[in-house]
Amino acid sequence: MRAIEGGDASTLVELLTKCQSEDPGFFYRLKFGADGRLCHVFWQDSMMKEDYLLYHDVLIIDTTYRTNKYNLICGRLIGINNHWSNIMFGFAFISNEQDESFEWLFNAFNESMGEDVRPVTIFTDQDLAMTNAIKEHNRSFQTVFNKCLNGCYSEAEFEDTWRKMISDYGLQDSDWFDRLYTLREKWCTAFNKGYFSAGILSSQRSESTNHALGFQATKTTSLIEFFHIFESTVRRWRSEEERNEFNNIRAKPTSVFPMVDLLDHASKVYTLKLFRAFEKEFGIAISTRAIECTTEDHIKSYLVYPSGTDENPHHVTFDSSNLLIECTCRKFQECGMLCFHSIRILHLRSVFEIPDRYILRRWTKFAKKEVWDRLLPNDRRRTGINEVVNWRRQSLTMFNNLIKNDKKMSECTRSEAAIGPCLLKSSRRGPNFFQQ
């Protein structure tokens, strides 16, 4: 393994120092080997810290990318924001895959937070190993294997499916599958549905971070060149976030379904991306059958049967006294959004709004509001966007009312006595608007 050249290392250190002088919240740590050469680097800017404090429940650690001049491991610490898009929490170069190197990386990352904030779920690179391992098998095997990954709702169902897969495809002597089975609690959703994963497990989010990052590095790429590629990626992701924020302010979602109360409420609180996910669940919900099983005081239980599938029914309990609803599929615990089984029962019981306890702030339009409000106007472009959009929205409303009232006014033109009241009515909102 080639040692990092002194000139490349010193230039990188100078660049990190410059970033820290421009951004007081910028954080970096370096580690030098016994020979005095740079071996580990970690950095994070102030917005990455803000994002982590908001969205720290899920952390994706990707250390699969090694294309650079020194064959260093590029460690990306990635999260999922309220638009279900990638956000960067930090970046590192580490020289090897020894335990001490990863311990150094985690210690540097924890130090950068300054608080004892820990993720609920950490994703690592084992999924890539699984992908490579099943390429040699046929499509029918992949279907069964995918069911083992995320298609089983209970541990018993997983055990039955796994045993049948091992037997049908002659995998009894496979050391790799034996080892994978011992790790089943770390990758099988049947064991993890009680833990929050931001929907990554259930969605089979297969887009590799290498592709998502858009890296175009080669075996001759220096640390400085890699740093600029990384910065360009972060700017691109933040530009996408900015567009999403703007669209959430500007747009009022429509639906292929009638905008009943539950859908309308979802459109007001969720980001557009999450509203579409809720809308999909709602569409499935209205085609399901719900059969009441038991009633005890104000608590009712139902079996919800999906139509047109071989999926087993799920048991839903609903407490009307406090709008507490629970489903055996545990989608809310895993994704932070109600499942179609629960939506079916809420709709059946004429609940007009999603109960507060089932709206995770991390998925709402307002998830990052305090961050934008805390930053000075000169330090953020989003302030201007919000002000312009609010002004435009109010302007359109006012002028739309003026146009409507102008039609009424045209009927009064023959009478000067009538014109005054019409003008007064049409401009009633004007003074209040311009005072804001």
Distance (Å, whole) CA 142 – CA 188: 15
The Cα 56–Cα 118 span in angstroms is: 7
At residue 159, does pLDDT exceed 90? yes
The answer to whether residue 142 scores a pLDDT higher than 70 is yes
pLDDT confidence of residue 221: 72
Q: Does the pLDDT at position 282 exceed 60?
A: yes
CA distance 243 to 382: 10
Rounded-to-integer distance, Cα 372 and Cα 365, Å: 12
Query: For 121-127, what is the mean pLDDT?
Result: 72
Mean pLDDT of 155-168: 94
- Across 401-427, average pLDDT: 43
Query: Strands 58-65 and 121-123, how do they pair?
Result: parallel
Least confident of 205-219, 230-244, 320-334, 375-389: 375-389
> Which pLDDT band holds residue 369 (cuts at 50, 70, 90)?
confident
* Structure confidence at residue 118 as a pLDDT band (50, 70, 90): confident
Q: Which of 326, 277, 320 is nearest to 304 (CA)?
A: 326
Q: Note the pTM of the prediction, 2 decimals.
A: 0.76
pLDDT at residue 280 in the model: 94
Quick one: DSSP state of residue 61? Answer: E
